Chains A and B, each alone.
Chain A
């Protein structure tokens, strides 16, 4: 009766990228990514490698890459850099490079250097090799290396995002779970359905997605291998089967079940199928999120009247309230360092993404609203993706954790929501 499509590697409409700078970041590092010299016989792609690298670094909020049009020269070799000119333009670092066919002829070599303009010190001198058709991925890898060399923190630009989109209303409604590069390019379908899909969550190895599908007439949780499309039905019990979240070691799935009559948090051992109940309360308990060490489960509960974040030991025990300010706070995403959680904070009809600092016990509001939700941390903790609305349409935005840089990922069709940022894929 219901047709469920599992289309692998089928390209979707190309994403358009729009970068919106909210306020200048005075401490952003001035850097110039000079267009890489194209040395292959095939024609160069429309979007150059350097432009992709600049965009990546820019939206992290930590870098201020020079516009290509403002560059006084375009050296591809170290010897031809006129450092004095770049110093006058107040550029601290310069990256130069070239793109060649790899020696086996089956891919691209990105040969590049990162140099301190003031001292002439060569910080990076590397070759990144990627397969045919993976030039964008190669550019993201170079951005990761530059980011790590200059900040000491691994980059997260070569990661992926999963998200849900919907088109149509009523009988015409269709739902689609997709994955794309972290900058929104290269979207590919994971699963499509005429019934709702929601709550995608990555496995810690970045190979699988857990999600909720209504294709059987009620909510059910599936785990699907992104590369092969093979999937497994994990839970389709009476009532709600929702909010899956893999434990950091990948062995357990936290989930919400309402088979007892109202939503409670459970842990499912993925190897044995054994289930243990973590909460027991007549309120709505849902949206579990693991601490990075796997010891604590944060979750949303309205046991105090309105939704707030609580936590409970993953081994079981009493729940305690975490968020102590704001009318309502829901859907926690835990930072990779475990020191803060991002939530959707509601006040009246407005919802914003806010960070709750666990030690200082205070909120930092990151986004302007009005209907912002589903925050998800980059695996290096530098940025968050979240869902917001433009008119009647859902779009994804990224915001740096200092709140200074926001970027919209506008997909060409449909209502886009529920981003989930992948871990670093090894």
Chain B
């Protein structure tokens, strides 16, 4: 398994643990400075969290680039307003790095039939791809794979868990 995928799984796992009993929270406001390191350690300057061409922001919790999951409403594939900033940040990165390659992994909750949900997951992936393309990502840099309801991050049959599973994961196969 490649590093990018591991990273996404770790992020998804952390989000699941942090938000297991609540809806996915709106993204915290960008622009909050990263905590400074101890004074006696020489650190390089923290990246500007709003510089979405800076790969260091993938690991900067203050930057939208560190967020790589977009959540959806039931049986819908519209990217909600609160996630448009995340999509725009990744579109900016991909536009700035022509070698970057992204897989948009579409997922659905367990309601509805499995093959229909494959279609629904693809629709969600296509919605994110459409936004990223409109913001400068080139077609060859993006690919959509739908997993339907086959890759849940949470297995409880309630709305909180379903909300975790209705998602598109932005996975970098190359940065």
Q: Are A242 and B113 in contact (CB under 8 A)?
A: no
Which of the 9-residue segments B30-38, B44-52, B85-93, B115-123 touches chain A? B115-123
Q: Which of B113, B118, B120, B126 contacts A373 (CB under 8 A)?
A: B113
**A218 and B156 alpha carbons, distance in the complex (Å):** 26
Q: Is the interface of B mostly helix, strand, loop or mixed?
A: mixed
1/0 contact string of B98-117 vs chain A (CB within 8 Å): 00000000000011111110
Give min CB distance, B112 to chain A, whole Å.
7
A72: Cβ under 8 A from any B Cβ: no
Q: Are A392 and B114 in contact (CB under 8 A)?
A: no
Residues of A within 8 A of B12 (CB): 170
Q: Are B150 and A300 in contact (CB under 8 A)?
A: no
Residues of A within 8 A of B115 (CB): 198-199, 242-243, 256, 286-287, 300, 331
Q: Which of B116, B126, B148, B156 contacts A330 (CB under 8 A)?
A: B116
B146: Cβ under 8 A from any A Cβ: yes
Size of interface on A: residues with Cβ below 8 Å to B: 45
Q: Are A349 and B111 in contact (CB under 8 A)?
A: yes
Q: Are B123 and A344 in contact (CB under 8 A)?
A: no
Q: Are A371 and B157 in contact (CB under 8 A)?
A: yes
Q: Are B112 and A418 in contact (CB under 8 A)?
A: no
**Identity of the chain B residue whose Cβ is nearest the Cβ of A350 in the assembled complex:** B111
Q: Are A374 and B122 in contact (CB under 8 A)?
A: no
Q: Are A262 and B150 in contact (CB under 8 A)?
A: no
Contact A330 to B112, CB < 8 A, known contacts A169-B153, A214-B147, A371-B157: yes
Q: Are B116 and A331 in contact (CB under 8 A)?
A: yes
A sample of 29 inter-chain contacts (CB < 8 A) reads A169-B152, A170-B9, A170-B12, A171-B1, A196-B148, A198-B114, A198-B150, A214-B147, A218-B145, A219-B146, A240-B118, A242-B115, A256-B119, A262-B119, A262-B122, A284-B119, A286-B119, A306-B75, A307-B113, A328-B112, A330-B112, A331-B113, A331-B114, A344-B113, A346-B111, A346-B112, A371-B110, A371-B157, A415-B155
Q: Which B residues have a C-beta under 8 Å from some C-beta of A? A: 1, 9, 12-13, 75, 110-116, 118-120, 122-123, 126, 144-148, 150-153, 155-157
Give 9 nearest A-B pairs by CB, closest first: A284-B119, A196-B150, A331-B113, A330-B113, A243-B115, A263-B119, A286-B115, A392-B155, A287-B115
Q: Which A residues have a C-beta under 8 Å from some C-beta of B? A: 1, 169-171, 173, 175, 196, 198-199, 214, 217-219, 239-240, 242-243, 256, 258, 261-263, 284, 286-287, 300, 302, 306-307, 328, 330-331, 344, 346, 349, 351, 370-371, 373-374, 389, 392, 415, 417-418
